[in-house]
Structure 1
Amino acid sequence: MKYDFITILGPTASGKTTLAASLAKCIDAEIISADSRQVYRGMDIGTGKDLKDYNVEGYNVPYHLIDIVAPGYKYNVFEFQRDFLNAYEDIKSRGKNVILCGGTGLYIESVLKGYRLVPVPENKELRESLSGKSLEELADILSKYKKLHNSTDIDTAKRAIRAIEIEDYYQKNEVDARQFPHFNSLIIGVDISRELRREKISKRLRQRLDEGMVDEVRSLLNSGLTPDDLIYYGLEYKYLTLYVTGALTFDEMCSQLEVAIHQFAKRQMTWFRGMERRGFTISWINAEWDLQHKIDVIQSML
């Protein structure tokens, strides 16, 4: 294969996992998940792990970075980069191909772009000294640390303060970051129409509620997690926790959650289109194509 690995991305309910698993069986590959919530153990229905998708005609496709941390933990992009690299090297050492599959754009882009990330601890004293300053003042302070190439670091005061905190840490500490390799990846995007996406999201939400998603949230709360712990993860866990704790009725929860998932899928597509503007080439394939046709098209690109 002329690529280091294949990336399959797409919004929620686009069928990317089924496609990745079927392709993996064909090309002797293992899958590395790029999903910021499927890393958590016990958070199965709400994150849509659908582990049965990894069984293709009786063959269990090996997967990585699913069920690797306890619920309540706050996994981050730095840890994902580290864990991706470890999984990638392990898979390659066994002579297998690699497929990166998921919908968390930041995680995917951090690997494809090779961000050099270092975990920077919170500096409470610095944060207190910056609180109350205007966005303009914060931008001026940040500009003394580095040249501002874009506005993403200063679109809110919170982000500007964090950017200053990071730059201040880099200036005062010897940073030993693992050099992240440059990868050449074939990037496949699953393009699903807005109408079909909405239909599948609504159907899947009803299915997950029938499968016991409410009981999953109750179980997590009974295990010692606080409502705030679960609300932090957003979407299903936010709205079901609000329902279980009595803040929302069942109908309110269903209605608000459905809207939130539709909005989330739209944001995912906005990120992926932004990746194209940032220089990534994404080969889009139609979600409505027959599965074998999708695989044939991808294999013709390899």
Structure 2
Amino acid sequence: MTRMEKEKLIVVIGPTAVGKTNTSISLAKRFDGEVISGDSMQIYKKMDIGTAKITTDEMDGVPHHLIDIKNPEEPFSVAEFQKLVRKKISEIHSRGKTPLIVGGTGLYIQSVLYDYQFTETPGDEHFRAELEAELEKYGSEWLHRKLVKVDPDSAGNIHPNNTRRVIRALEIFHCTGKTMSEYQSSQTHELQYDVALIGLTMDREKLYKRINLRVDLMIEQGLLEEVKALYDGGVRNVQSVQAIGYKELYDYFDGIVSLETAIENLKQNSRRYAKRQLTWFRNKMEVAWYDMTEESLHSKNIEDISEFIAGKLQLKSNK
């Protein structure tokens, strides 16, 4: 497939709270676009506040996809994400529109952009069962430390609470003798789309303040009630509630920590996640970075980003 034959795609990535939502709406309007969520948790219904899910008002008429498509009890994999997103990209193009993937889950986005072949990924059911038994006996932190020993790179990008991915990384190492990163790098040599990959960044101190304020706002907006509804509904030991913003408050409802500690843990885990996101994007992808620290320069940034996209993809901008 030549470059000219590839479908055009805009991707906006960056850490949590950096301003991806506002930027993506501006870009979607300029390039007659539709947004595909690149967040692995916004796919879940009933999980709005904790995932910072975009509201109808914020969408401002721009169509959005892959939001609220799963119940919290259902699993969701990178392979499924890849399949759904690639289908959406083609659908959006068929309507004469420009697709924009917007989000912060690095591996999920990478799986769409490059030629990942998940059907060929090795597996060992018996080994996986052993790890799941160890998880139940010793806990998620213990299992994550096991991954740190054999694959520190992947361990740094996978939260200990994301036990499904921790187990998968250990399983790949067990089956291939390669780390997850090494195994993936052998599959990521060709871009599947004609991509303009935009990265948003920000002064670390300001970003962390924004994250802390966002958590406070989430609490004001009713995050406790949102998580309590899941908790009371018996949603436990599933992928969705291992997400940051849910796991910490489950600990509070379980009586393990005080509410004050749970909220502080939520802030700390969110800041750590933002740091991991930036590390992942900088190490794994060829990104055009734009600094969003100065709010007064937001309009100029949008102009600069639009100019980059128009040149890279040969697209006309609607100013």
1:291 aligns with 2:305: no
Cα deviation, residue 293, structure 1: 1.8
Does structure 2 retain, via aligned residues, the 8 Å contact 1:231–1:239?
A: no
User: What is the identity percentage for the equivalent residue pairs of Structure 1 and Structure 2?
Assistant: 33
Per-residue CA shift, 1:158-202, capped at 9, x if unaligned? 7343455589xxxxxxxxxxxx97112111111111011011001
Match in the other structure for 1:252 = 261
User: Does the 8 Å contact 1:21/1:53 carry over to 2?
Assistant: no
* Aligned counterparts, 1:107-126, within 5 A: 107-118=108-119, 123-125=124-126
Determine which of 192, 214, 219 is the counterpart of 2:202.
192
Q: Distance in 1 between matches of 2:154 and 2:273?
A: 22
Structure 1: runs of 5+ lacking an equivalent:
132-149, 168-179
Q: What is the CA–CA distance in structure 2 between the aligned matches of 1:129 and 1:55, rounded to whole Å?
A: 45
Relative to the length of structure 2, the TM-score reads 0.74
**Amino acid paired to 1:254:** I
* Higher-Rg member (1/2): 1
Cα distance in 2 for residues equivalent to 1:188 and 1:181: 15
> What amino acid does structure 1 have at the position aligned with 2:48?
D
Equivalent pair of 2:34/2:98 in contact (CA under 8 Å)? yes
Change beyond 3 A, Cα 1:23–1:164: same
Q: Which amino acid aligns with 1:268?
A: Q
Unaligned stretches of 5+ residues in structure 2: 133-150, 157-165, 178-189, 311-319
d(CA) in 2 for partners of 1:128, 1:49: 34
Shift of 1:55: 3.0
2:35 to 31, 38, 41: 31
The offset of 1:222, in angstroms, is 2.4
SS in 1 for 2:272: helix
Q: How many residues align?
A: 264
Matches within 5 A, 1:75-154: 75-118=76-119, 123-125=124-126
For 1:221 and 1:157, how far apart are their aligned partners in 2? 25
Q: CA RMSD in A?
A: 3.1
Counterpart pick for 1:15 among 14, 19, 24: 19
- 1:61-104 CA-to-partner distances (Å, cap 9, x unmatched) read 10111111110222111011001011111111100011111000
The one-letter code sitting in structure 1 at the alignment partner of 2:271 is H
How far residue 114 of structure 1 moved from its aligned partner, in angstroms, is: 2.5
Partner of 2:148: none
CA distance in 2, matches of 1:254, 1:36: 22
Compute the TM-score of the two structures, normalised by the length of structure 1: 0.78
SS at match of 1:236: coil
